[in-house]
Amino acid sequence: MGGTLTSQAQTRELLDRVANSPQFQKSKRLRELLLYLGDRAIRDPNCVLREQEIGIDVLGRPRDYDTSHDTLVRVLISHLRKKLQEYFAAEGRDESLLIEIPKGTYLPVFRLREPRNGHTEIVEEPPPAAAPIRGRRLVPAVLAAVAAAAVLGWATGYNSHPARLTSRPSVEAFWKQLFGNGQPTNLAMSDVTLMEFEILMGGPVQLSEYEAREWDRLADSRIQDPVRRELARAFVDRVTTAISDVQVARDFGVLSSELHLPLNIISARDLSSPLVSSDNTILLGSWRANPWVGLFEDQTAFRAEYEESPPRFQFVNRTPLPGEEPAYVAQWRRTGYCRVTFLQNPRRNGNTLLITGSDVISTEAGGRFIASEDSILQLRKRLNLKAGSPIPHFEVLLRAQIVNSTVPRFELVAYRPH
C-alpha cells in the first residue's frame, strides 16, 4: 500500500524534478502553482488551504475578491491534476513517489506508487457516475456536467433539499399551464465552463459566437497571454454546470414526472435558436453562464448587470415602485438575488421560464420558489388573482440569504405582471 511520506528531502527533490519537466516548463503559471502548493504541503501536510488564499498568493488577486465569479483557481487546479497524471504516466513512470491533488482539496499529497502485479502503476479513479434522475431524459453531453456538479456538492458540503412528493395544487396547476401545451419542454442548465472562459478572455461571449462555438477565434483574438490562451483552449470544450442547477433540474423533473409532462434536461450548449424560438424553455443562470437569457433581457423589469473588475452583480430596477430600490446589489457569500420571469417564447406558441441568479448559488432560490405551494399562493395573492384563474406572465425578484454555499431562506422583494 502506498502511504504519505514524511521525508522532506525526498519530497523536495521530487517536486523540483516535476516542476522542471517539459510538461511544466511550457506553462509558467502551472509551474508556479505546483511549487506553491507543494511547498505548503511539505511545510504543513495538515494545513487547510482555501481557494481564496491561493488566488491571493499565486494570482495576485485582492484579498476580498469573489471566488464565485473569478474561478481561475479551480480551473488551474483541474489542469494541474491532469498535468501531474501526464508526468507520472510518461516521463515520471519510473518515479517511486507520486504527487497527487485529491478531488475536493487543493493540497497535494506525496505517496508511494501503488504496486500491482509486480509493477508500479498509477491507477486513475473513474469519475463518479451520475445518479439516475426520475421522470426525464438526460442527454449524454450533460452527464459529465451532472457528475462534476455532484462532486462539487460533496466537496463543499452542499446540503440538498429533496423534492417532496406531496400535494401542491397551485404549483401543479401552474406547471400544467406552463408546459402542458403540447410543445416539447427543454431545461437548459448553465454553462460554468463558459464563465471560466469569459474570465480568461476578459469579457462576455456573444450569443452568436456561443451558438457557433467560436472558441479558437475568440481565444486567438481576445487572450494575449499565451499561458492563459493555452489554458482556455484546454478546457473550453468540456461542459460543466452548477450543483444548484442540478438540484433545480432534479426537483423540476420530479414535478414533471408526477404530472406526466416530459422534460428534457440539456446543457445551454445544446440549445439552438429554433428550439428556443418554438419550444417551451427553462433557462437557468444569468446571461454570463447561459447566453440564451440575453434574448429576453430587454423584456425584463429587473435588468441583470455584471461588472468585470472588480466583479459586481446587480439587478437594476427599470421602473422602481414605492418602497422598491433602484438596484439590488448582490453581496458575495452573504446576499444573492434571483429573478424569475415567465414569458411567451419568440414564436408565441409556447412559454419561457427564466431563473436567473446573481451567482450560481442563488439560482436555487428561484427553483424552490417555482416548486413551493406557499410561494405560488403568495404570488397569486400579490397578483390579485381569483381562484382557478391562470397566472399571467410575470416577473419576481427574490432576495436569498447565502450560508455555506446554500440558500436556507429567501423572500420576495419585488414583482411585476407582464
Each residue of 366-412: pLDDT tens digit? 999 999 999 999 999 999 999 999 999 999 999 999 998 889 999 99
φ/ψ (deg, to 5) at 165: -90, 50
Q: What is the distance between the alpha carbons of residues 338 and 317, in angstroms, rounded to a whole number?
A: 13
- Residue 377 burial class via C-beta count within 10 angstroms: exposed 0-12, middle 13-18, buried 19 and up: middle
Kindly tell me if the per-residue pLDDT of 214 is higher than 50.
yes
Stated as kind and residue range, the H or E segment containing 314 is: strand 312-317
**What are the pLDDT digits (tens) for 262-318?**
999 999 999 999 899 999 999 999 998 999 999 999 999 999 998 877 788 999 999
Instruction: Identify the band that residue 68 occupies on the pLDDT scale cut at 50, 70 and 90.
Output: low
- What's the pLDDT score for residue 63? 83
Give φ, ψ of 69 to 5 degrees.
Answer: -100, -40
CA angle 315, 317, 300 (to 5 degrees): 80
Name which of 236, 234, 238, 235 is nearest 209 in CA terms: 236
Specify which of 46-50, 235-239, 303-307 reaches the highest per-range mean pLDDT: 303-307
Q: Please report the pLDDT score of residue 10 as a whole number.
A: 83
Higher pLDDT: 377 or 332? It is 377
Asked if the model's pLDDT at residue 201 lies above 60, the reply is: yes
pLDDT, average across residues 168-195: 95
Taking only the tens place, the pLDDT of each residue in 99-115 is: 999 887 899 998 887 76
Q: Which residue has the higher pLDDT, 358 or 65?
A: 358
pTM to 2 decimal places: 0.66
Segment 129-136 long-range contacts (CB within 8 Å, at least 24 positions apart): 133/249, 133/250, 133/253, 133/265, 134/253, 134/254, 134/257, 135/253, 135/254, 135/256, 135/257, 135/258, 135/263, 136/187, 136/249, 136/253, 136/256, 136/257, 136/262, 136/263, 136/264, 136/265
Cα(193)–Cα(232) distance, integer angstroms? 10
Mean pLDDT across the chain: 84
3-state class of 166 per DSSP? coil
Provide the grid cell at 129: 457516475
Task: State the DSSP code for 205.
Answer: P
The percentage of the chain sitting over the pLDDT mark of 90, rounded to a whole number, equals 53
What is the helix (H) or strand (E) element at residue 219, kind and residue range? helix 215-222
SS3 390: coil
Distance CA 96, CA 115 (A): 10
Average pLDDT over residues 190-213: 92
| Average confidence (pLDDT) over 318-324 | 96
Q: Is the pLDDT reported for residue 147 higher than 80?
A: no
Asked if omega into 346 is within 30° of 0 (cis), the reply is: no
Domain boundaries defined on the chain: 8-121, 137-191+239-417
Indicate the CATH number of 8-121 among 1.10.10, 3.30.1360, 1.10.390, 2.50.20: 1.10.10
